[in-house]
Amino acid sequence: MLSMEQVIKDIHILKYLKKHVSLGHIEQFCMPFGLQVFFSYHIFFVPLHRIFKKDTQINPTLYMKRQSTLIMVFTLTAMTLLSSCGGKKQQAMPTAVFKTAKAEKKDITLSRKYSATIRGRQDIDVYPQVGGTLQKLLVTEGQKVVKGQTLFIIDQVPYQAALNTALATQKSANAQLATAQLNYDSKKKLFDDQIISDVELQTAQNSLLTAKAQVAQADAQVVNARNSLSYTVVKSPANGVIGTLPYRQGALVGSSMPQPLTTVSDNNEMYVYFSIAEAEFLQMVRGSENVEKAIASMPELTLQLVDGSEYEVKGKVESASGVVDRSTGSVQLRAAFSNPSHILHSGSTGNIVMPTVYKDALVIPTTATVQMQDKYKVFVVDKDGIAHGQLIGVLPQTNGKEYIVTSGLDGSEEIVSEGAGMVKDGQKVK
C-alpha cells in the first residue's frame, strides 16, 4: 500500500504531465511507473471539482467541506489503481518446460469409415404369377428354405376347371382331326380313280389342315392351363431365408400387387455396398494397369455393425460400379463377406473400415497440435528455446494418436510434442 505522501507526489507529477505532455505520451509514461492516477484525476476528480466549485462559490464553508471529500475519494481511487498497476507490473510471461521432439518419418496405417448397406447375395422378391385367394402359408418368417420348396398355395379350383376345359377342347379337336383325315383319304382315293374333281380334293385337304390347327391350338390351351394351375403352388426360387410375410391366409393376391408375398434372401454370403469419392477412388487405382487389378490389390475390409462391434469375418472388395453418381460424385463399391453364423441380415446397415498404408509419411503426435477451426498449428522451438507458432497441413484421417503432415514442416524442426494447447507464441519452453 502506498503512503499518502507518495500519492500526493504522484498527483503533482501528473498535473505537470497534463499541462506539458499529450494524453498518449502520458499513458506511455504512466504505465511503467504505476502512475495510473492521472486517469482518475483527469476523468473523475477534475470534472467533479469544477461542479462542486460552481455550486459552492457562494458558500465558502460548504466549498471546503466538499473539497475535502473529493480529495479523500480521489486519494482512495488513486491508491487502488496504483496497487492494481503494481500487481500487473510484477506479472511476466511464465517460463515452463514442455516436452519437445522432431516429426518422425515412418510407415503408418490409417483407416477410413464409410457408411454401408448390407444385402444378401440374392434377394429375390416372390410374386405370384396368378391371382386368387391365398389358401395356405407353408413357411414362417426367418425360416431357411431350399430351392423348389413350396411356400404358398393359391386357390386351385378355377385353374383346375380351366385345365379340364382345355383338355376337353383338345380331345374334341383331335376327334375332328381324325374325321378330317378320313375324309381326305377317301377323297384322295376317289380323285385317283378320276371319280371326283380336283376341287373336292382340295376342299377335303383344307378341312384337314384346319383340324390340325385346331388341335395345335387346343394343345397350347392345355399347356397354359397346366402352367396356371402349377403357378398356384408358389415355390422358393433359391436357397435362402424367408423375409417378412405381409399377406395372410385368405388374402386376395395377384401378380400386380404392390408388395411381394415374401423375399428369399441367400445370406450364406453377403454383399456390402458403400460409396467413396471419385477423387479418392482414382487415388486408390492410380498406378495399376486397370481397375480390376487395383481392386484385387485392395486390403481386407472390416465391417462395423450397427451396435459398434466389429464383425469377426474380414471382407474383400469384389467390384466397382462403372458409373459415377452425378448427384454425389461418388463411386459405389461392393464387398463380399462370408456369413457362416448368419449374423448378417439383408437390409441391415453398418460401416466399412478400410485401412490405407502410407509409406515414409511425416508423422507428429496429436498432442503437438492446436486446432483452429479447419487449421492446425504447432509450436516450433528455436535454438534459444522460444516457441513460435507454425500453421501446418494434415490429412483428415487419424488413428487417434498421430497426424500425417502434408505441409508446413520438413522433419528438421523441433516442436512442442505435448501440451501445445498451453503454449503461447514467444514463450520460452526449455
pLDDT in tens, 48-91: 444 444 444 445 454 455 455 545 544 555 455 444 444 444 44
Phi, psi of 132 (to 5 degrees): 160, -175
Cα–Cα distance for residue pair 244/229, rounded to 1 Å? 25
CB atoms within 10 A of CB 215: 21
Per the CB < 8 A criterion, the answer to whether 332 and 105 are in contact is no
pLDDT band, residue 252 (cuts 50/70/90): very high
Separation of CA 330 from chain center? 12
d(Cα 323, Cα 300) in Å, to the nearest integer? 24
Residue 139 contacts residue 366 (beta carbons within 8 Å): no
HSE toward the beta carbon, residue 176, CA cutoff 13 A: 19
pLDDT digits (tens, 9 = 90+) for 22-40: 444 444 444 434 444 444 4
Enumerate domains of the chain plus CATH numbers. Answer: 4-90 (no CATH), 100-107+359-422 (2.40.420.20), 126-253 (1.10.287.470), 262-358 (2.40.30.170)
pLDDT at residue 224 tops 70: yes
- Using alpha carbons only, what angle is made at residue 391 by residues 386 and 397, rounded to the nearest 5 degrees? 125
Least confident of 60-69, 355-364, 390-399: 60-69
Tell me the DSSP string of 197-253.
-HHHHHHHHHHHHHHHHHHHHHHHHHHHHHHHHHHTEEE-SSSEEE------TT-EE
Q: Over pLDDT 70: what percentage of the chain?
A: 78
Q: What is the C-alpha separation between 29 and 57, in angstroms, rounded?
A: 36
Tally: H helices and E strands in the chain: 9, 18
User: Which position has the higher pLDDT, 215 or 291?
Assistant: 215
Give me the percent of the chain exceeding a pLDDT of 90: 58
Per the CB < 8 A criterion, the answer to whether 244 and 130 are in contact is no
If DSSP codes are grouped into helix, strand and coil, which group holds residue 309?
A: coil
Cell of 266: 441367400
Taking residues 317-334, what's their average pLDDT? 91
Over the stretch 83-141, which tens digit does the pLDDT of each residue have? Answer: 444 444 444 556 678 899 999 999 998 888 999 999 988 889 999 999 999 999 999 99
Q: Judge whether residue 319 has pLDDT over 80.
A: yes
- Beta bridge partner(s), residue 106: 361
Dihedral over Cα of 224, 225, 226, 229: its sign: positive
Cβ 133 vs Cβ 252: under 8 Å: yes
CB of 166 within 8 A of CB of 221? yes
User: Residue 313's closest CA among 118, 58, 171?
Assistant: 118
For the chain, the first-to-last Cα distance in angstroms comes to 36
Distance (Å, whole) CA 66 – CA 59: 11
CA angle 315, 318, 324 (to 5 degrees): 120
Residues in the chain: 430
Q: Report the amino acid identity of residue 28.
A: Q
